[in-house]
Chains A and B, each alone.
Chain A
Amino acid sequence: MLELQHISFEVPENDATHEILRDVSLTVPAGRLVVITGPNGGGKSTLARLVMGIERPTSGAILFNGQDITSLSITERARLGISFALQQPVRFKGLQVLDLLRLASGRDITPSDACEYLSAVGLCARDYINREVNASLSGGELKRIEIATVLARGTALSIFDEPEAGIDLWSFQNLIQVFQDMRRDIRDSSIIIISHQERILNIADEIVVLQGGTLAMQGPRDQILPRLTGTASALQGCRRIGGGEQ
Chain B
Amino acid sequence: MKLDSIQKQLLAEIADLHSIPEGAYNIRSNSQSVGRVSTANIEITSKTDVSGMDIRIKPGTRHQSVHIPVVLTESGLSEVVYNDFFIGEDCDVVIIAGCGIDNCGKADSEHDGIHRFWVGKNSKVKYVEKHYGSGDGTGKRILNPGTEVYMDENSTMEMEMAQIKGVDDTDRKTVAELAAGAKLVVRERLMTHGKQRALSTYDVRLNGAGASADVVSRSVARDDSYQRFDAKIVGNAPCNGHTECDSIIMDNGRILAVPGLEANDVDAALVHEAAIGKIAGEQLTKLMTLGLTEQEAEEQIINGFLK
- The contact size tier of chain B is 20 to 34
Find out whether the CB atom of A149 lies under 8 angstroms from the CB atom of B300.
no
Residues of A within 8 A of B114 (CB): none
A90-B282, A93-B246, A94-B305 known; A73-B288 Cβ under 8 A = yes
The reply to whether the CB of B306 lies closer than 8 angstroms to some CB of chain A is yes
Shortest distance in angstroms between B136's beta carbon and chain A's nearest beta carbon?
Answer: 30
B-side interface residues toward A, CB under 8 Å?
A: 218, 246, 280, 282-283, 285-294, 300-301, 303-307
Residues of A within 8 A of B307 (CB): 94
Mark each residue of chain A from 151 to 186: 1 if its CB lies under 8 Å from any CB of chain B, else 0. 001000000000000000000000000000000000
* Interface-side segment among A13-21, A76-84, A121-129, A200-208: A76-84
Shortest distance in angstroms between A75's beta carbon and chain B's nearest beta carbon?
Answer: 5
| Residues A90-104 near B (CB distance < 8 A) | 90, 92-96, 99-100, 103-104
Nearest to B294 among chain A residues (CB) is A75
CB within 8 A of A75: which of B282, B283, B292, B301?
B292
Shortest distance in angstroms between B291's beta carbon and chain A's nearest beta carbon?
Answer: 4
Shortest distance in angstroms between A1's beta carbon and chain B's nearest beta carbon?
Answer: 18
A-side interface residues toward B, CB under 8 Å?
A: 52, 54, 73-75, 78-79, 83-84, 86, 89-90, 92-96, 99-100, 103-104, 106, 149, 153
Chain B, interface SS category: helix
Find out whether the CB atom of A103 lies under 8 angstroms from the CB atom of B288.
no
What is the bound-complex CA distance between A92 and B303, given in angstroms? 11
What is the bound-complex CA distance between A244 and B218, given in angstroms? 39
What is the bound-complex CA distance between A92 and B246, given in angstroms? 13
A90-B283, A93-B246, A94-B306 known; A78-B289 Cβ under 8 A = yes
Residues of A within 8 A of B282 (CB): 90
Residues of B within 8 A of A75 (CB): 288, 291-294
Residues of B within 8 A of A86 (CB): 286
Residues of A within 8 A of B294 (CB): 75
Nearest to A149 among chain B residues (CB) is B290
What is the bound-complex CA distance between A106 and B283, given in angstroms? 17
Residues of B within 8 A of A153 (CB): 290-291
Residues of B within 8 A of A95 (CB): 300-301, 304-305
CB within 8 A of A92: which of B218, B289, B301?
B301
